[in-house]
């Protein structure tokens, strides 16, 4: 799986991560994939939301309660290849142990609220006092300056998207805003910016020898994606709002019905070249829409004509036909479609790695691919508290007795019931999903 002779870009970098849900964990996972030793600091008192979610098939299994925090599919989606360290930071012994780890880390990464970090004594000033060379990257909802109006506001779950205007931009023009609560682009965009900030911080440290403090206010970071619309409002007073699936740049672009229940195709044919081949395929009786301005000004009519044409086709067949003549199109994939997507499968988009509790598990690959130094997945977990002892011993230099005392005092915790092993119900057919893993049971 891994060519150990290749040195990965982040080998030798150690990350102290205080993450919950997406924004900081997704960044940490990327770094772990590329060789960083990412220490995910976890709490049982206020656990990461992915530990609470658990797994649908485990819901009524009280006998497996110890395994539950390890079983949400979001655990590896956000945390694969990290080490899990159980430390209660609100206890002074737990915090001291954390400081011992921080002294040995290159990067501090956190998406706890700015006020929460300060209350824990883990703001930049406190952390850099222990480790002046630390690259400190925090992702609070509204920045870390306590004098700013929204400093103490709750940035919880998907409420960043409405705030930055994404929800108003989502939906058909004649409908109320549909919102984008299904997914959370602001969290992921913040995570990607945090990765850029972290790598820049490491570069800064190489050049200057100094650490650095980066404040990724998720509110501001997400707004950086709205440039042209802000400018247009400032220049002309135009308030852009939702336009369904249409494009400002040409027509047609849309989602059209196909044969069957809830089968749809997405088509973008906004340039003349695409339109010409689409029109030829549709065998349009006249050249009424050959003029791009006509297509833009009469989108209602154009879309309805296309929808009447697409409705008799199988969505996937039609996407293949359109792509074969150079028109951007794709079936509007459902979960079931993605499960059978031969393209993503041929690219091994789903990966499998060993897991201390489940034996092995499947999760999404990293979209950032490097040919010369490909990343690696060492662990599909981690299991909650799995690495507490080894990390406190090997990184912070604590003795086994000291660690046991921390655990006894409930300042730290280790993996619950390591002997409780439970494969996922679908473990037997993982090889159908991930090509080449038929014999992967002994990973």
Partner 1 sequence: MAGPYNGLRVVDTTGLAGAYATRLFAGLGAEVIRLEPPDGSPLRYLAPFAESIAPPENSLWWSYLAMGTRSVVIEPDNNDALAQILSSADVIFEDRLPEDSLISPDLVPDTTVRTSIVPFGLTGPKRSWKSSNLVAWAASGVLYATGFRDRAPVAPAGHVQLALHASAASALVGTLLALRARRKSGEGQQVEISIQEAALAIAPETGVPVFLDDRVHRERSGNRRDLGRPFGLYPCSDGFVSIIVLLPRHWTAMASWVAEATGNETITEEVFEDLGVRMETQDLIDTWVEELTVGQSRQELFQEGQRRGIPVTPVNTVNALLDDPHLKAAKFWSETQLPDGSSVAVPGAPFRTNADWWTMTAAPLLGQHTEFYLE
Q: What is the footprint of partner 1 within residues 123-162 (CB under 8 A)?
A: 124, 142-143, 145, 147-150, 153-162
Q: Which stretch binds partner 1 (CB under 8 A): 60-68, 85-93, 176-184, 283-291?
A: 176-184
β-pair type (212-215, 135-138): parallel
The distance of Cα 112 from the centroid of its chain, to the nearest Å, equals 17
Ordered DSSP codes for 311-329:
TTS-HHHHHHHHHHTT-EE
CB of 402 to partner 1, least distance (A): 35
Q: Judged by CB under 8 A, which stretch of 38-46, 89-97, 108-116, 326-334 contacts partner 1?
A: 326-334
Which two tokens mark 14?
A: 């150690």
Q: Give the bridge partners for 15, in sequence order.
A: 38, 107
Sheet hosting strand 253-257, strand order edge to edge: 253-257, 264-268, 328-331
**Binding-site member from 327, 353, 412, 416 for partner 1 (CB under 8 A):** 327
- In whole angstroms, what is the distance from residue 202 CA to residue 28 CA? 14
- Pick between residue 72 and residue 81 the one whose CB is nearest to partner 1: 72
User: Which residues inside 64-123 make contact with partner 1, applying CB under 8 A?
Assistant: 72-74, 76-77
Place of tokens 């007795």: 401
**CB 71, CB 29: distance < 8 Å:** no
Which of 347, 394, 409, 435 forms a contact with partner 1 (CB under 8 A)? 347
The alpha helices in 34-102, defined as continuous H runs, are 49-53, 74-79, 92-102
- What's the closest the beta carbon of residue 241 comes to partner 1, in angstroms? 6
Both structure tokens of 229: 């619309």
By CB under 8 A, the residues from 275 to 314 that bind partner 1 are: none
Q: How far is the CB of 293 from partner 1 (least distance, A)?
A: 13
Q: Binding to partner 1 by residue 365, rule CB under 8 A?
A: yes
**Cα angle value 231/237/242 (rounded, 5°):** 80
Rounded CA gap, 367 and 263, in Å?
A: 27
Structure tokens at 433: 């999903």
Decide whether 57 or 280 has the Cβ nearer to partner 1.
57
Sign of CA dihedral 406, 410, 415, 418: positive
Q: Which stretch binds partner 1 (CB under 8 A): 54-62, 111-119, 283-291, 398-406?
A: 54-62
How many chain residues bind partner 1 (CB under 8 A)?
Answer: 156
Using CB under 8 A, which residues numbered 11 to 30 contact partner 1? Answer: 30
Binding mask 228-257 toward partner 1 (x if CB under 8 A, else -) reads xxxxxxxxx-xxxxxxxxxxxx---xxxxx
Taking CB under 8 A as the binding criterion, the range among 62-70, 109-117, 221-229, 403-411 that sits at the site for partner 1 is 221-229
For residue 344, the minimal CB distance to partner 1 (Å) is 7
């Amino acid at each position: 799986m891994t060519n150990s002779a290749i040195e990965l870009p982040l080998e030798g970098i150690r990350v102290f991560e205080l993450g919950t849900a997406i924004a900081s964990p997704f960044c940490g996972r990327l770094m772990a994939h590329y060789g960083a030793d990412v220490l995910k600091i976890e709490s049982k008192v206020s656990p990461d939301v992915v530990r609470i979610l658990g797994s649908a098939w485990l819901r009524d299994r009280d006998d497996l309660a110890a395994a539950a925090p390890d079983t949400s599919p979001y655990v590896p989606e956000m945390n694969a290849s990290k080490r899990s360290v159980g430390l209660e930071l609100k206890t002074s012994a737990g915090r001291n142990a954390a400081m011992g780890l921080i002294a040995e880390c290159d990067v501090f990464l956190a998406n706890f609220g700015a006020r929460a970090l300060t209350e824990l004594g883990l703001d930049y000033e406190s952390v850099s006092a222990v480790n002046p060379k630390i690259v400190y990257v925090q992702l609070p909802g509204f920045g870390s300056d306590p004098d700013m109006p929204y400093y103490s506001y709750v940035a919880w779950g998907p409420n960043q998207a409405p705030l930055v205007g994404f929800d108003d931009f989502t939906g058909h023009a004649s409908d109320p805003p549909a919102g984008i609560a299904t997914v959370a682009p602001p969290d992921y965009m913040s995570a990607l910016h945090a990765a850029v900030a972290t790598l820049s911080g490491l570069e800064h440290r190489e050049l200057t020898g100094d650490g650095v403090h980066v404040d990724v206010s998720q509110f501001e970071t997400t707004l950086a994606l709205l440039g042209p619309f802000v400018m247009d409002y400032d220049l002309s007073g135009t308030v852009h709002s939702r336009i369904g699936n249409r494009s400002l740049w040409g027509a047609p672009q849309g989602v059209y019905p196909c044969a069957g229940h809830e089968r749809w195709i997405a088509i973008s044919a906004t340039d003349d070249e695409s339109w010409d081949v689409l029109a030829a395929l549709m065998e349009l009786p006249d050249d009424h829409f050959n003029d791009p301005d006509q297509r833009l000004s009469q989108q209602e009519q154009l879309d309805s004509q296309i929808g009447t044409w697409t409705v008799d086709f199988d969505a996937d067949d039609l996407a293949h036909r359109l792509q074969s003549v150079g028109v951007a199109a794709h079936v509007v994939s459902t979960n079931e479609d993605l499960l059978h997507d031969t393209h993503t499968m041929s690219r091994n988009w789903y990966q499998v790695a060993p897991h201390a509790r489940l034996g092995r598990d499947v999760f999404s690959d990293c979209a950032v691919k490097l040919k010369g130094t490909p990343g690696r997945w060492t662990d599909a977990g981690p299991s909650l508290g799995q690495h507490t002892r080894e990390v406190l011993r090997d990184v912070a230099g604590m003795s086994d007795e000291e660690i046991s005392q921390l655990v006894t005092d409930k300042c730290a915790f280790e993996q619950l019931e390591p002997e409780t092993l439970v494969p996922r119900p679908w473990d037997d057919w993982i090889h159908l999903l991930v090509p080449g893993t038929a014999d992967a049971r002994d990973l």
